[in-house]
Structure 1
Amino acid sequence: MRNSIIIICLFITSILFSQTNKNLSDDEFLIVRNKTRSFFNTNSDSCLFYINQIEKSKEKIHLAFAKGAKGNLISKNGKIKEAVVLYDEASNIINFLPKNKFNIENSILIHIYGGNIYKNAKSFSNALDVYLKAKQFAISINDEIQIGMINLNIGNIYYEIGNYEKAIKIYRLVDATIDANKLNVTQEDYFSKKAFVNFNLGVCYEAYFAKNRDNFKLLDSAFFFYDKTIKLYSNDNLYFKMNSLKNIGNIHFYKNELQKAEENYLNAYSISKENNNNLIEYSSVYNLGLIYYEKKEYIKALHYFHNVDSLYNLQKNLGLSEYVDANFKQAKIYNILKDYKKSLLYSNIYLKNSDKINQIKNVNIIEVNKKVNNIETKNEIQKIIQDNNSKIVMNKVFIGVFILIFILLITLVINRFYTKKRFNEKIEKLIKEYEDNTSIDSNVKNETPTVISIDNENEILANFKNLIDKKEHLKSDFTQQSVAKKIKTNTTYLSNIVNKHYQKSFSNYLNELRINFVINEIITNSRYREYTTQAIAESAGFKNADSFTTSFKKKTGITPFQFINEVKKRKET
């Protein structure tokens, strides 16, 4: 019934627009804009339909909104580059428009979409910059509601980097802001925003529990906010309803309340299938498979695990870990049912994909597969293959694979035994070196003068050191050419002076300064240790995480990830 209503509305809107084929008035634009926003999380096809209608308008602010909204929509499907281009185009348009209230209100939405695009790309530093730009616009027109929703997005960034306490604090402040401005918005808008905040609080508490498995009060808090979202605020917003039902199922599963978990997963599955939400459907069928597997209802479990395979093969951007674990469970079930040919088939699929699991971050499913150590699951598959050796010749290939894995594991254990002491000594030396501030010799060496005068040389050197003291070297545009220009010399003189006084090339000395800054921050700043590698790289002026990691390892002999982990261990003890 609901889908029929949506189709009818789309049909009528299509007729109206096709008949008029004229520029949209602002009032007409607002109607279509609100429809676009209402479908963002529930029906991407309907959302795209309304965006396409707005794109027909000749008004620049309408076109800018359409570009920003489309970028936000396609970024959810991994089309990040195209999305960034659309946001940049929208941003360029609004930069030259009059700063009246109508334009500012739409500029706020466009920059929020831009922040969402960068967040979907895991570029949290850029996302934060854009959200803050949107916030400045909202402050300029004193829009408390939008300020609150932008703060909510900023809270989401803290959630992404694992700072759950900070995220929860921001979410609660946003919730209070929404209540304080309840009379300034429609009831529908109020419920929508309350659903958004309460659902995010539930997600944050659930993720917080994943790091503190003994603290079941965190689960109780997550349940409270999910339940509140469903009962009070979700109304017709199926996105929050489906996700809340599924995540309450997660909570029951954590507590081993399988019957309640099953009921919630079935509800989420039913609604997601009816509304063509593949992501929720995929997660729900996987979780239902786990439920029936735990209950030893193997035929039902196979039904849902087969659905996992079908959905994954149709849409590869769904979670790989569910797909791999579903095939592992199917291999075990068919072995129990004595269908050895199918058991080997799913064993092969598992082996082919299991090593890819560490390349993804899964935030949408119950992490039940963590109950089983990866080595143990592979050993179970090996046992299945060995048991079936007399039945199917192909199993010899799998046995060879597992023997190779076993030898590799033994080799790794032996290698770790002999290298651990040297690794610890390297870490100790590195920490001590930087605690004593002896990592980089920044003292000027007294050498024979270069071809330029001593006064000029000293002036260039003093100006260069002044830039370093101001931490200008932590900016990505701090290059030999830009520095030479700033201190009014040429690159040849600058290069010679750096080589003379620091016995290093300009680029090597710059890398050492930056790496030294990072190491010092990691040792002294607990918050810095929680940053992503990309965020750390950007904070020190590196253009990307790869070049930063290469430079860090070249200087220290270890990766940034290894160093951060060792510092954390020492701080905890």
Structure 2
Amino acid sequence: MPRFIVPIIICMVLSMELYAQKSSSDSTNTPFSKLDYEAIVDNISKHQDNPQLLFKYINAFTKKAKKENDTLQLIKSYSFAIFYSKLEEHKIKFADSIISISNKPAYRSNFINAYYLRGIAYYNMNSYDKALEDFLKVKKLNSNQGFDYELDLQADYNIGIIKNRIGEYETSVKLFKKAYNYYAQKDDEVYALNILPSIVDAYINLKQIDSSLYYNNILIKYLHNTNDNGLLPYYLLNEGAINLQKKEYNASINSINKAIPLLSEIKDYHNLQFCYYYLGVNYSYLNDNEASIKNLKKMDSIFLKIKDIHPNTRKGYELLINYHKKNKDQPNELIYVNRLLGIDSVLTKNYKRLSKTMFKEYDTPKLLVEKERIINTINDKNQISKKYLSTAAIVLIILVIVVIYYFNENKKNKRKFESLFNKNKDIENTPIQIKSDDTINLNINSDVIDDILLKLETFEKNNDFINSNLTLNSLAKDFETNSKYLSKIVNHYKNKNFSNYLNDLRIDYAVHKLQHENVFRNYTIKAIGNEVGFNSAESFSKAFYKSTGLKPSFFLRQLNK
């Protein structure tokens, strides 16, 4: 759980401090541009508590190195910037700068270390796939020439941290123990002990209680013999997790409650998230639902703050959903269902891509010893995806899509209704002017055209179109013309065929009557259709929808509102 204290960063800074100690002159009042490198580094060391002034000296360092075209000094200035920057995005930018200028044999170690430092920054930003790429790059570059075993070991350790997040616990504990044994044999107590919480965490995930207890006891013995309590909260958190597996729930709660203030003080939100998750699970086993939900909601609040979650804490959201479902608290149940859908989407995306990267690139010449393990586990690479894309989630997603679809359709229909309601449905009998070329295009005498248009105007004004037995032939007969002429004129001047022309007149008439006659609204759909000239409810509904984009039942409901 705790994030590894990176040896490379420490070594780099120590070397810089030694370099700084060579200068003893006080250059505080000297202009930045006139300071030599030693004086600048000396001032960087002196002003670590003043970030604004500190970065002025780092910028002066960078400008001087660029001006003098001194690559080594420029690398040092970017290294200072990485170490003192608070934002991981800035660290990545400076690491990129080192990579861009150091890909030469003379700066090989700087080139490789920059990838390592960038990998740490990506990990701290929760960009685990990019972090993995950089750690694999470190191993590949390191294997080519001048092999640095400790650098390879540290890259392996960080790969183990990432593998631990995607459920590759056996491999991660193997990598952790490899690093721990190396530093323990070197009597490098600080580095060795910083690895212990990760070993314990991996064994907890493997549910190997004896092994997790063994390594956690090594850690507490060290803490009892020193005044360094930096690892105490991780010992307590792991102790709480172990006691939870042992079903010693009250002991687990006690340990975790001791860890919370210590982790809060150092703002380790990732492990605080685990604390509240474990408390929630403990209290659920003790049937104290109120305390369980209270702590799980604290877990959720941390997720909202840091926008990251460990896959192992996902069960906490299932407990939240089931609790609110059992209590028929639908608003809160929906909140956590939506939250879990979002979390599953992120986890499925991030960890599926991470697994593909790992299985594709982890098999390098320097990692042949891991090949057998990868082959054995490659069949399980979709395990996490299957876990999170459960049947309930799929059903819920489909339901949400359907609800959203009908919501949008209803919204569009309301807009159509408002447009239709506000539209003037009174038929305007504006005389249609016959253009000079109409007679040529229609091949009909202008007097005939004028006569038919006048009769159509009267036909519309008198609402003669509501006759259900009306046909093109019968109307042509009434107009004392032939159906061919009538059809051509309707198509040309009304821009629609006779059937659509007739239906649109009837629908406009029906809408007008529905808007202005309350009694008409009480008719059935079939009766309204019959009243305006349709022979069936089906033909009326179909024509109404075609003309207005709405179903007559929806239009009636909105009118009655």
For normalisation by structure 2, the TM-score amounts to 0.47
State the TM-score, normalizing by the size of structure 1: 0.46
Rg (Cα) greater in structure = 2
